[in-house]
With several copies, the nearest count.
Chain A
Amino acid sequence: MAEKLIIDYSSSGRKGYSLPPLDVPDINIEDNLESKYVRKDLNFPEVSEVDVVRHYTALSELNYGVDSGIYPLGSCTMKYNPKRNEDIARIEKLTQIHPYQSDDDVQGSLQILHELKTDLAEISGMDEMTLQPASGAHGEFTGLLIIRKYFEDKGIEKTKVIVPDSAHGTNPASAVMAGFDIVEIDSNEQGMVDLEKLKEAVDDDVAALMLTNPNTLGIFEKDIKEIADIIHDVGGLLYYDGANLNAVMGYARPGDMDFDVLHLNLHKTFSTPHGGGGPGSGTVGVKEFLKPYLPRPLLVKEEDKYYWDYDRPKSIGKVHGFYGNYGVLIRAYSYIKTLGYKGLKKTTENAVLNANYMKAKLKEDFVLPYEENSLHEFVLSGIKQKEKGVSTLNIAKRLLDYGQYAPTIYFPLVVKEAMMIEPTETENIETLNKFIDTLKIISKEIEDNPEIVKNAPHNTSVRKLDEAKAAREPDLKW
Chain B
Amino acid sequence: MDYVSNTEQERQQMLKEIGVEAIEDIFDSIPDEVKLNRELDVSEGMSELELKRHINKIADTNISLENYTSFLGGGAYDHYVPSIIDHLISRQEFYTAYTPYQAELSQGTLQVVYEYQSMISELTGMDVANASLLDGSSATAEAILMASRISRNKKVLISSALHPSYREVAKTYGKPKNLDFVEISIEDGVTNLEELEDNLDNDVAAIVVQYPNFYGSIENMEKIKQLKEEYKKVLLIVVANPIALGLLTPPKEFGADIVTGEGQSLGNTINYGGPYLGYLACINDRKFIRQIPGRIAGATVDVDGNRGYVLTLQTREQHIRRERATSNMCTNEALNAAISTIYMATMGKKGMKEVAEQSYKKAHYLADKIDELEDFEVVNTDNFFHEFWVKTKLPVKKVLSSLKEEKILGGIDISRFEEEEGILISVTEKRTKEELDNLVRLLEAM
B438: interface (CB < 8 Å): no
Asked if A328 contacts B275 (CB within 8 A), the reply is yes
A477: interface (CB < 8 Å): yes
**What chain A residues lie within 8 Å of B135 (beta carbons)?**
134, 320-322
A65: interface (CB < 8 Å): yes
List the 10 shortest-distance A-B pairs measured between CB atoms, nearest first.
Answer: A322-B273, A179-B176, A275-B335, A340-B45, A277-B334, A279-B275, A63-B108, A99-B273, A428-B5, A321-B137
Partner-binding segment picked from A218-226, A382-390, A442-450? A218-226
Q: Chain A 165-201, CB within 8 Å of chain B: the 1/0 string?
A: 0001110111111111010000000000000000000
Minimal beta-carbon separation of A338 from chain B (angstroms): 5
**What chain A residues lie within 8 Å of B112 (beta carbons)?**
56, 59, 276
With A251-B35, A344-B42 as known contacts, state yes or no: A320 contacts B47, CB within 8 Å: no
In Å, the complex CA distance between A79 and B96 comes to: 9
Contact check: which of A61, A92, A337 meets B51 at CB < 8 Å? A337
Most buried by A among B301, B331, B345: B331
B332: interface (CB < 8 Å): yes
Q: How many pairs, one residue from A and one from B, have CB atoms within 8 Å of each other in the complex?
A: 717
**What chain B residues lie within 8 Å of A177 (beta carbons)?**
145, 173, 176, 327-328
With A29-B357, A145-B172, A465-B308 as known contacts, state yes or no: A111 contacts B58, CB within 8 Å: yes
A117: interface (CB < 8 Å): no
In Å, the complex CA distance between A265 and B17 comes to: 31
A361: interface (CB < 8 Å): yes
With A48-B5, A470-B310 as known contacts, state yes or no: A39 contacts B245, CB within 8 Å: yes
Asked if A92 contacts B96 (CB within 8 A), the reply is no
With A37-B221, A100-B74, A322-B76 as known contacts, state yes or no: A474 contacts B58, CB within 8 Å: no
B231: interface (CB < 8 Å): no
Number of A residues whose C-beta is below 8 Å from B?
Answer: 210
Asked if A101 contacts B10 (CB within 8 A), the reply is no
Number of B residues whose C-beta is below 8 Å from A?
Answer: 211
**What chain B residues lie within 8 Å of A57 (beta carbons)?**
88, 91-92
In Å, the complex CA distance between A19 and B90 comes to: 23
Asked if A63 contacts B29 (CB within 8 A), the reply is no
In Å, the complex CA distance between A253 and B100 comes to: 32
Partner-binding segment picked from B182-190, B191-199, B315-323, B370-378? B315-323
**What chain A residues lie within 8 Å of B94 (beta carbons)?**
60, 63, 65, 275-276
In Å, the complex CA distance between A472 and B40 comes to: 52
Partner-binding segment picked from A81-89, A231-239, A283-291? A81-89
Q: Chain B 73-94, CB within 8 Å of chain A: the 1/0 string?
A: 0111010101110111011111
Contact check: which of B11, B48, B107 meets A462 at CB < 8 Å? B107
CB<8 Å pairs between A and B, sample of 23 = A2-B306, A17-B354, A20-B432, A37-B221, A45-B345, A53-B88, A63-B109, A80-B3, A93-B66, A112-B58, A317-B168, A319-B169, A321-B138, A333-B55, A352-B23, A353-B6, A353-B23, A372-B29, A375-B29, A457-B104, A462-B302, A467-B310, A476-B121
Contact check: which of B48, B59, B102, B123 meets A108 at CB < 8 Å? B59
When C-beta atoms are compared, the residue in chain A nearest to B351 turns out to be A17
Contact check: which of A32, A257, A327 meets B364 at CB < 8 Å? A32
